[in-house]
A and B are shown apart, each in its own frame.
Chain A
Amino acid sequence: MTALLEVSGVSKSFDGFRAINDLSFNIGAKELRAVIGPNGAGKTTFMDIVTGKTRPDKGRVLWGERSVSLLKLNEAQIARAGIGRKFQRPTVFEDQTVAENLTMALKAPRGPFAVLCWKPSRASETRVAELAGEVSLADRLTHKAGELSHGQKQWLEIGMLLAQEPRLLLVDEPAAGMTLAERGQTTTLLRRLAETRAVVVVEHDMDFVRRLNCKVTVLHQGAVLAEGSLDHVSANPDVIDVYLGR
């Protein structure tokens, strides 16, 4: 299986603190992966590097069949290349309606002039309604996003990510602040999404990771400590030492 995203030998220091230390990581085109690790293990920095928010000091990040280096692209270009990111706190545009939020995210040319000439079509309106239905917001299309509850905002943001049709989805702590029922819905959704694309979930909650039932990568001090099924890594003495044992 060829990798969709290939991170190799990446390092990044902040004022002498090595947040990422010679990290290598691969993910296939249709794979669900959980990334776990204690605080400060470099999970968020890893996501920042892949999405272009942070530039690594050294190493390579290659993307897609043509092995494009992501280090030469900015955030917007990386997003257009097909990497979507779900932030820990829901970040939707609260002053705009659910429909406007989703329309903005719909896969379409992103240049200023292309957007100026863009007109809503029947297809785009159907797609927005479809997406809203998928994230249970169908009756809220004309409401401002600011009026939604926390969980609904999380769902709206997921809907926006789906609208972008990314090939790789990076999800930062999706279970945080969700009720038990919402967590169940979220695991189902993530597993379904992983059937058609790559999904990387960064998570603290071990129960949630267990329910995802996928390959797990354990990060520690900016490097991969162990990789494999959850039972496999849980049995690893190093992992027990730094993470699970606490």
Chain B
Amino acid sequence: MRIRKHPSALVFLALLAVFTLAMTLMSEAYGSGVVPTSTIKTLGKTLCLALAAVAMDLVWGYAGILSLGHMAFFALGGYMIGMWLMYARTGEIVAATLANSPIPPTTEELRQGITGQIFGVVGSADLPLTWAFAGSLPMQLLLVLAVPGLLAFLFGWLAFRSRVNGVYLSILTQAMTLALSLWLFQNDNGFRGNNGLSGLQNMPGLTDVPQSMISIWFLWASALLLAGGYLLAAWLTAGKFGSVIRAIRDDQTRVPFLGYSVEGYKLTVFTISATICAAAGALYYPQAGIINPAELAPIASIYLAVWVAIGGRGRLYGAVIGAVVVSLLSSWFTGGRAPALDLGFYRIEWVNWWQVLLGFGFVAVTLFAPRGLSSIIDVIADLRPPRRRGADLGPDISALREKEAEA
């Protein structure tokens, strides 16, 4: 790792550590109790969303692939961990009930009890094949990465090999997440249809531990995962690999003549990014407590792209800033805590008007700060380009003009 080239990674890690420690010291379980458990959960979830945004920045900001289906990988990761959480937790409840019966229950009876509890709601009595490993945490953890990774690999292989680019690829990714969501909505596919998986906040084996403590553990896990994902992304984008993917973003017809396979690189970045997203999802949904197919709706992935655009794509901390600022503002406005604005003739209730505000914010950022909110950091760090008053950057007229360089 060339930290020298990436001082931002160190600053980011330090800020993240300070934030997590501060929250712990203000929590109900380990500190003064100023910050309620529900806020700790929101913050933990926000860190997971920030990691998803980093993954999005990797494919979009660095490799130029505008994927509008990335939340499918996020949700799939959640589904994979949710299956184990639900199966193991239901298993505990069923075992406790059957323990009162005169004859100790057999494994088969236990299994049937769990199946009845989980799938009774969709009128099924058999455990679907997809739940074959649901009883094993290591297997489901493996699937958290393997299932979205494999899906991304197959999807990317088909799309990039056929040289699907630009808008067409974005539409295809939207179609992918929509199709997956519709498929999950069906009751007989073994994922409980629109009920989704619920009760995920209850950790198996930790019934006696209060949520206030669990929420802090998850906050730490989310912070660690975000730190790891950030470092991985920084490493990927730092060296020659980063150079090649940025070259693909800027001129993908030229890169093959240097001997690099554009399809191979796009596929690698897309798959790595999907698995990062899936890992983030696997930590997000236990904090959210519930997952259902609506989480895969195309709009979720569009929001992800909006966060990255608002934060500033092509720089990792930009993605984090965008995700954190927009999703926290979003939960503040939609949570009903934002004071309504009384105009006299009309009362603006933010729950209804937040999306309009977000839309205006998006347009404003695109117009006035094309590099996103992270350009504030440029001002602080004095990275702003000198004012040249329209003069050329280079020695003659074919060099980049000031306007081009800013874009």
Contact = CB atoms under 8 A, between A and B. Distances in A.
Contact of B243 (A76, A96, A113): A96
A105 interface: yes
Interface stretch (A129-137, A143-151, A190-198): A143-151
Interface string A61-79: 0000000000000111101
A164 B259 contact: yes
A57 interface: no
Nearest to B249: A95
Interface in A81-112: 84-85, 87, 91, 93-96, 100, 103-105, 110-112
B16 interface: no
Interface stretch (B100-108, B114-122, B397-405): B397-405
Contacts of A150: 396, 398
Interface stretch (B6-14, B38-46, B262-270): B262-270
Given A91-B254, A94-B400, A149-B399, A110 B260 contact: yes
A160 B254 CA distance: 12
Interface stretch (A8-16, A27-35, A114-122): A114-122
A76 B396 CA distance: 33
A150 B398 CA distance: 5
A55 to B, nearest CB: 14
A93 B247 contact: yes
Contacts of A93: 243, 246-247, 250-251, 254
B99 to A, nearest CB: 52
Chain A interface size band reads 35 or more
Interface stretch (B213-221, B234-242, B286-294): B234-242
A89 to B, nearest CB: 10
A164 B256 CA distance: 12
A139 to B, nearest CB: 12
A74 B261 contact: yes
A160 B258 contact: yes
A5 B251 CA distance: 28
B250 A95 contact: yes
Given A76-B256, A93-B250, A110 B240 contact: no
A204 interface: no
Contact of B256 (A79, A104, A153, A160): A79
Nearest to B394: A147
Contact of B241 (A105, A112, A160): A112
Given A93-B246, A118-B240, A105 B400 contact: no
B257 A79 contact: yes
A146 B243 contact: no
A49 to B, nearest CB: 14
A64 B153 CA distance: 35
A84 B261 CA distance: 15
19 contacts: A74-B256, A76-B261, A84-B257, A91-B254, A94-B400, A103-B243, A104-B240, A110-B261, A111-B264, A112-B241, A112-B265, A113-B268, A115-B241, A116-B236, A118-B239, A120-B240, A146-B400, A147-B399, A149-B399
Ranked nearest first, the 10 interchain pairs of A and B with the lowest CB-CB distance are A75-B256, A150-B398, A79-B259, A146-B400, A112-B268, A80-B259, A149-B396, A76-B256, A76-B261, A147-B394
Interface of B: 236, 239-241, 243-244, 246-247, 250-251, 254-262, 264-265, 268, 393-396, 398-400, 404-405
Given A80-B259, A103-B243, 17 more contacts: A76-B259, A79-B256, A87-B254, A93-B247, A94-B400, A96-B243, A96-B246, A103-B240, A110-B261, A113-B268, A116-B241, A118-B241, A146-B394, A146-B405, A149-B394, A149-B398, A150-B396
